[in-house]
Amino acid sequence: MNEVTRIFGSNVFSDSVMRERLPKETYKQLQRTIKLGKHLDNAVANVVANAMKDWAIEKGATHFTHWFQPMTGITAEKHDSFIAPTDDGRVIMEFSGKELIQGEPDASSFPSGGLRATFEARGYTAWDPTSYAFIKGKTLCIPTAFCSYGGEALDKKTPLLRSMEAINRQAMRVLRLFGDEDVTSVKTTVGPEQEYFLVEKEMFDKRPDLIYTGRTLFGAKSPKGQELDDHYFGTIKTRVAEFMEDLNQELWELGVLAKTEHNEVAPAQHELAPIFTTTNIATDHNQLTMELMQRIAKKHGLVCLLHEKPFAGVNGSGKHNNWSISTNTGKNLLDPGDTPHENAQFLLFLCAVIQAVDDYQDLLRISVASAGNDHRLGANEAPPAIVSMFLGDELTAILDSIEKGEEYGSREKELWKVGVHILPRFPKDTTDRNRTSPFAFTGNKFEFRMLGSNDSISGANIVLNTAVAESLRQYADMLENAGDFNAALHGLIQETIHNHKRIIFNGNGYDDAWVEEAQRRGLLNLRTTPDCLPYFLAEKNVKLFAQHRVFTETEIRARYEIILDNYSKILNIEAVTMLDMARRDLLPAFSAFTGKLSETVNAKKAAAPGADCSYEEAQIQKISSLVGTMYRQTQALEDVLLELVPMHCDELERAKYYRGKVFDAMTQLRITADEIETSLDRKYYPYPTYGDLLFGVR
Ligand code: ADP
Ligand code: MG
């Protein structure tokens, strides 16, 4: 065994560890809980807890925690030690089944959107046995869901698990119709590609904007940016390579399948992609990955920025959510097969996704909505805010011919009929990638590219799973009652293509012409978080989530409030940080520079009365005038913030106000400050510059 295979998963209470450490009968009962969701009785839980504890203690653990994902977006944990006192004043290490299954963090400060009345502010955490427990530092972490006592989800895991059940239910119905009796469960799979920036910690520490908001609020472009594309896939610098090595090591120990790493397009930007796995595990793993990236970067004197747009003028960071549907027999349902039977089934699942993306464009957009991601989507870079789907020319042509009832390709002599004839072999095109598409078919999976680097992938997958479950439900309802299955199937596929083909777009998504074309097609273009959030409450969306038991209306409303509230708070922190930087650092520095120039002019004139002072005088004029403007813009920003205080408005109006007036005032202020920066004596700029930040890591 080599080093990597030895350490892989060594900190995970995995299936093989369970098999080895649990009595046969306990293992079997636990498997029933994991695979079939059967209730785990107390006696069994006690045995599992005890085995887990012994294993964890052998690995050096002293504490345990219910690890959960509240609506703050980060993971939460509260540590309890295993110790329990004995009668004779010693301690023993204890961990019961009850402690494993349920926890009660006093978690009243997590956002709940009014779901928990204050008299019952506590929520409880419940073990998710489908995601393995693991050790982090000296703590045994137990992945859990976080709910209120009324059963409402207060976290990002509960609805994700519900959505996986929803797609499982409906996909199973469809597979049975195709005569499949072997499959017993269907799960979605995800491989999230994670982008991030690394900057010198020493420089980060000198920038209040990075410290408080994760992004630069001021800063002129450096003379060089990403225009040469010379960072993309470039040689990885030694320090960064050492960071990646450390990161891999820890991720592997936690059973995370970290696979590829490379430099991204922007300077100082990198990417990590794991091998895909079941969606809820991929979600847990991605949260862990983000957490470890930040911690390990510090060890190397670096800071990992996960903000969606840390720097103006160079690419921001996103996350590509590669998504597919798999059976427990190992078949990928989005893989076009070799037989007519497989082809027809593939086409139906493909249709289910096409229909889902078209019907629930709004929800997909909402699932990636955040203050940070608004700087990417619909701004001037990767993916536009319009949701559309790339299928590639070949597959699009096939769908086109099916819709028209025409034969496809020269090899197909007979009339093409789904379920009867062979789908023409089309190359699984992995090179013809349309990087501008927000939702692309890449051979045997879809890649949803609108996620922000900081997002939990849970939101996007809740929507994907549920929306596709809904298409499948409609298909199953229809096909279960059809007389001639093949004919009904053919009709269904034709009709779906006809009704939903507007969502398919293989062209350049960055093109202005696409914005107009999308509008003609009736597609939504929801540019900002306050623009899209109202759609969350639309009747069709409430119905979708209720019908598939993913969110109740109350839960949707709570999330709607939390997202908007969070959005306004982030913009407020940014605005206040800007004011602070402008008043306490930038304006004084700029003014000091003109003061210094004035002294020089006076000194020069005294020493050599006819000396040329044109540079100094022109600079004094120009900078003084800009500083005056900047001063007034600072006042204006403060005024718009103060105006908001006495206003009584709901969370949507408040978010709109921030996005409108506050954001505009921030933008104006930045433009002026950045202009002054470029005329300034380097020594006078009080912060590390873009050049320092983007090219500083050696
Ligand atoms: P690239 O996008 O560079 O061509 P791949 O296609 O191999 O690379 O994979 C990109 C990501 O998609 C990886 O995280 C990979 O594990 C994931 N992926 C591959 N197949 C699937 C699948 N069936 N379901 C979900 N994710 C997948
Ligand atoms: Mg990719």
Q: How remote is the CA of residue 380 from the centroid of ligand 1, in Å?
A: 27
Closest ligand 1 atom, residue 447 Cα = 12
Ligand in closest contact with the CA of 188: 1
User: Which two structure tokens, joined as six digits, stand for 103?
Assistant: 């926890």
User: Which of the four pLDDT bands, split at 50, 70 and 90, describes residue 432?
Assistant: low
3-state secondary structure of 192: strand
Closest ligand 1 atom, residue 320 Cα = 11
The string of DSSP letters for 591-632 reads HHHHHHHHHHHHHHHHH-TT---HHHHHHHHHHHHHHHHHHH
Q: How remote is the CA of residue 435 from the centroid of ligand 2, in Å?
A: 9
Ligand in closest contact with the CA of 435: 2
In tens, the pLDDT along 532-564 reads: 999 999 999 999 999 999 999 999 999 999 999
Q: How remote is the CA of residue 447 from the centroid of ligand 2, in Å?
A: 7
How many CA atoms are closer than 13 Å to the CA of 216, on its beta-carbon side? 27
3-state helix, strand, coil in the chain (%, to 5): 50, 15, 35
DSSP β-bridge partners for residue 271: 195, 262
Gyration radius of the chain's alpha carbons: 28
| CA distances, 698 to each of 200, 248, 261, 600, 695 (Å) | 9, 21, 18, 37, 8
User: Which of the four pLDDT bands, split at 50, 70 and 90, describes residue 430?
Assistant: very low
Q: At what angle do helices 458-480 and 485-500 cross, to 10 degrees?
A: 140
CB 524 within 8 A of CB 360: no
- Supply the DSSP symbol for 425: P
Q: Which of 539, 538, 531 is nearest to 563 (CA)?
A: 531
Closest ligand 1 atom, residue 192 Cα = 14
Q: How remote is the CA of residue 319 from the centroid of ligand 2, in Å?
A: 9
Q: How remote is the CA of residue 3 from the centroid of ligand 2, in Å?
A: 28
Q: Give every CB contact of residue 588 below 8 A, 6+ residues apart in sequence.
A: none
When pLDDT is averaged across residues 630-637 and rounded to a whole number, the result is 98
For the cut 70, the answer to whether the pLDDT of residue 233 exceeds it is yes
Closest ligand 1 atom, residue 274 Cα = 14
Ligand in closest contact with the CA of 325: 1
> In this predicted structure, what is the pLDDT of residue 561?
94
Q: Which of 550, 595, 438, 418 is nearest to 495 (CA)?
A: 418
CB 42 within 8 A of CB 98: yes
CB 360 within 8 A of CB 467: yes
Instruction: Name the average pLDDT for the chain.
Output: 90
CB 326 within 8 A of CB 188: yes
Q: How remote is the CA of residue 246 from the centroid of ligand 2, in Å?
A: 24
> In this predicted structure, what is the pLDDT of residue 411?
43
DSSP β-bridge partners for residue 381: none
Q: How remote is the CA of residue 548 from the centroid of ligand 2, in Å?
A: 30
Helix residue spans in 41-153 (DSSP H): 42-58, 97-101
Report d(CA 658, CA 662) in Å as an integer.
Answer: 5
> In this predicted structure, what is the pLDDT of residue 407?
63
Give CA torsion, residues 439, 553, 308, 453, to 10 deg: -60
In this structure, the strands spanning 258-263 and 439-441 are unpaired
For the cut 70, the answer to whether the pLDDT of residue 420 exceeds it is no
Q: How remote is the CA of residue 506 from the centroid of ligand 1, in Å?
A: 20
Closest ligand 1 atom, residue 444 Cα = 23
Q: Give every CB contact of residue 615 below 8 A, 6+ residues apart in sequence.
A: none
Report d(CA 607, CA 594) in Å as an integer.
Answer: 20
Q: How remote is the CA of residue 429 from the centroid of ligand 2, in Å?
A: 13
Closest ligand 1 atom, residue 273 Cα = 14
Report d(CA 256, CA 275) in Å as an integer.
Answer: 8
Closest ligand 1 atom, residue 324 Cα = 24
When pLDDT is averaged across residues 94-103 and rounded to a whole number, the result is 90
Helix residue spans in 197-331 (DSSP H): 201-204, 208-213, 238-253, 279-299
Q: How remote is the CA of residue 193 from the centroid of ligand 2, in Å?
A: 7
Q: How remote is the CA of residue 323 from the centroid of ligand 1, in Å?
A: 8
Residues within 6 Å of ligand 1 by CB: 189-191, 193, 273-276, 322-324, 332, 430, 442, 444-445
> In this predicted structure, what is the pLDDT of residue 150?
80
The single residue listed with the structure tokens 């493909």 is 350
> In this predicted structure, what is the pLDDT of residue 697?
81
CB 194 within 8 A of CB 329: no
> In this predicted structure, what is the pLDDT of residue 406?
73
> In this predicted structure, what is the pLDDT of residue 167?
98
Phi, psi of 220 (to 5 degrees): -80, 155
When pLDDT is averaged across residues 455-480 and rounded to a whole number, the result is 98
In tens, the pLDDT along 294-337 reads: 999 999 999 999 999 999 999 999 999 999 999 999 999 999 87
Substitution site in 276, 435, 446 for ligand 1 pocket (most atoms within 8 Å of beta carbon): 276
> In this predicted structure, what is the pLDDT of residue 424?
52
Indicate the pTM of the whole model.
0.94
User: Which two structure tokens, joined as six digits, stand for 60?
Assistant: 């050096």
Q: Give every CB contact of residue 66 below 8 A, 6+ residues apart in sequence.
A: 77, 78, 103, 105, 125, 127, 142, 144
> In this predicted structure, what is the pLDDT of residue 412?
44
Report the sign of the C-alpha dihedral through residues 220, 224, 229, 232, in that order: negative
Is 679 or 431 the better-scoring residue by pLDDT? 679
> In this predicted structure, what is the pLDDT of residue 446?
96
Report the sign of the C-alpha dihedral through residues 24, 30, 31, 32, in that order: positive
Closest ligand 1 atom, residue 332 Cα = 23
CB 160 within 8 A of CB 280: yes
Q: How remote is the CA of residue 321 from the centroid of ligand 1, in Å?
A: 9
Nearest residue (by CA) to ligand 1, atom 23, is: 324
Ligand in closest contact with the CA of 276: 1
Substitution site in 445, 448, 451, 468 for ligand 1 pocket (most atoms within 8 Å of beta carbon): 445
Largest CA distance in the chain: 104
- Supply the DSSP symbol for 540: H
Q: How remote is the CA of residue 276 from the centroid of ligand 1, in Å?
A: 6
Closest ligand 1 atom, residue 257 Cα = 16
Q: How remote is the CA of residue 44 from the centroid of ligand 1, in Å?
A: 37
CB 590 within 8 A of CB 581: no
Closest ligand 1 atom, residue 323 Cα = 25
Nearest residue (by CA) to ligand 1, atom 19, is: 276
Ligand in closest contact with the CA of 191: 1
Range of weakest confidence among 289-298, 334-343, 428-437, 661-670? 428-437
3-state secondary structure of 458: helix
Nearest residue (by CA) to ligand 1, atom 1, is: 430
In tens, the pLDDT along 17-26 reads: 999 999 999 9
Ligand in closest contact with the CA of 443: 1
Ligand in closest contact with the CA of 442: 1
